[in-house]
């Protein structure tokens, strides 16, 4: 069992996962669930995609290997190394879908039940983030434009989706640090779902770098993991405090104090976004 979150963030996709895996006999172990796909040519690294999977670990590993081969075959056919263009990414995704449909059909015909979901995150040569989900039939669903995020694994239904709805998450309007937000979600879900581990830093961001004019992917630094864990724990303690403050002072007083605090925010875009959020609260009363 697992919990994996993929969020569109600016000119890229952030993928974050817990690391707990349970065996058929109920033994829990820790294991990576996000796999970067990249190649080295003449000392240069080319980051093509991030893969992640929830469900049967054996099937996921087999899928990872074969999907990597699909990317490798495309990459080695190039005269000059680069990332896939829009139309090329569509063809790669179609190849992956065909492979998964055929593979799952073979397994089902052999009496093997499929309980596996895959995520693919990438950025095209034009700089456009792409996020795809492959279900237990092997069928692909593009999610980069609508809704701009994906949740897979048992943690989705044991709290992940509820928290996302509670925060009214919108990939366009969200102004916070998505790395912190993802780790917060995983830590919260891990407290009610024993098959999900607390956040341990398994998080990757693939993005278009405007300065270097290329796609880059990387994982969190250890100091960032420590910072996220500390802030996540603090914010979990602040939420019930905020609820009690609402009970004590009343919603009207809290909203008036928010309006005063917003004036102290220097970033105009953030200030306007929060003002709009407060106005929506006012309209909904």
Structural domain includes residue 59: yes
Say which residues have a Cβ less than 8 Å from residue 99's Cβ, sequence separation at least 6: 66, 67, 70, 138
Range of the domain at 276: 250-284
The model's confidence at residue 25, banded by pLDDT at 50, 70 and 90, is very low
Q: What is the reported pLDDT for 278?
A: 85
Please tell me whether residues 212 and 276 are part of one structural domain.
no
For 115-170, write each residue's pLDDT tens digit.
999 999 999 999 999 999 999 999 999 999 999 999 999 999 999 999 999 998 99
Please tell me whether residues 82 and 218 are part of one structural domain.
yes
pLDDT mean across residues, the chain: 92
Comparing 23-27, 91-95, 102-106, 232-236, the range with the smallest average pLDDT is 23-27
Q: Comparing C-alpha atoms, which of 195, 279, 179 is closest to residue 232?
A: 179
Please tell me whether residues 161 and 54 are part of one structural domain.
yes
Concatenate the DSSP letters of all residues of 258-283 into one string.
HHHHHTT---HHHHHHHHHHHHHHHH
Please tell me whether residues 85 and 11 are part of one structural domain.
yes
For 161-173, write each residue's pLDDT tens digit.
999 999 989 998 8
- Does residue 147 have a cis bond before it (omega within 30 degrees)? yes
Please tell me whether residues 139 and 262 are part of one structural domain.
no
CA dihedral 235, 237, 238, 241 (to 10 degrees): 170
Q: Comparing C-alpha atoms, which of 277, 266, 11, 252 is closest to residue 129?
A: 11
Q: Is 208 exposed, middle or buried (0-12, 13-18, 19+ CB in 10 A)?
A: buried
Query: In the beta sheet, which residues pair with residue 49?
Result: 37, 122
The model's confidence at residue 280, banded by pLDDT at 50, 70 and 90, is confident
CA distance linking residue 232 with residue 201, whole number of Å:
13
Assign residue 141 the CATH number of its domain. 3.60.20.10
Mean pLDDT calculated for residue range 196-209: 94
Q: What is the reported pLDDT for 273?
A: 86
Q: Count of domains in the chain?
A: 2
pLDDT of residue 230 exceeding 80, the answer is: yes
Report the SS3 class of residue 26.
coil
pTM of the model: 0.92
Comparing 26-30, 162-166, 225-229, 271-275, the range with the smallest average pLDDT is 26-30
Q: State the chain's maximal CA–CA distance in angstroms.
A: 68
Q: How many CA atoms lie within 13 A of 253 on its CB side?
A: 7
């Amino acid at each position: 069992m697992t919990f994996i979150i993929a969020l569109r963030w600016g000119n890229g996709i952030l993928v974050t996962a817990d690391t707990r895996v349970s065996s058929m006999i109920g033994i829990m172990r820790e294991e990576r669930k996000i796999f970067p796909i990249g190649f080295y040519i003449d000392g240069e690294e080319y980051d093509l995609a991030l893969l992640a999977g929830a469900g049967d670990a054996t099937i996921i590993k087999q899928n990872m290997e074969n999907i990597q081969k699909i990317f490798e075959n495309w990459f080695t056919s190039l005269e000059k190394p680069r990332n896939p263009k829009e139309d090329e990414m569509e063809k790669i995704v179609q190849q992956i879908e065909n492979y998964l449909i055929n593979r799952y059909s073979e397994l089902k015909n052999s009496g093997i039940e499929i309980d596996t979901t895959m995520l693919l995150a990438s950025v095209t040569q034009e700089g456009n983030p792409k996020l795809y989900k492959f279900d237990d039939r092997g069928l692909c669903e593009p999610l980069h434009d609508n809704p701009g995020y994906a949740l897979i694994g048992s943690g989705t239904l044991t709290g992940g989706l509820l928290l996302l709805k509670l925060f009214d998450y919108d990939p366009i309007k969200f102004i916070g640090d998505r790395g912190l937000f993802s780790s917060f979600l995983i830590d919260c879900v891990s407290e009610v779902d024993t098959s999900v581990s607390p956040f341990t830093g398994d998080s990757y961001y693939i993005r278009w770098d405007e300065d270097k004019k290329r796609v880059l992917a990387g994982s969190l630094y250890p100091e960032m993991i420590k910072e996220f864990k500390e802030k996540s724990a603090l914010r979990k303690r602040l939420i019930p405090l905020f609820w009690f403050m609402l009970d004590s002072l009343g919603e009207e007083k809290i909203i008036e104090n928010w309006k005063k605090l917003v004036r102290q925010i220097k970033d105009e875009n953030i200030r306007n976004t929060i003002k709009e959020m407060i106005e929506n609260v006012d309209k909904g009363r």
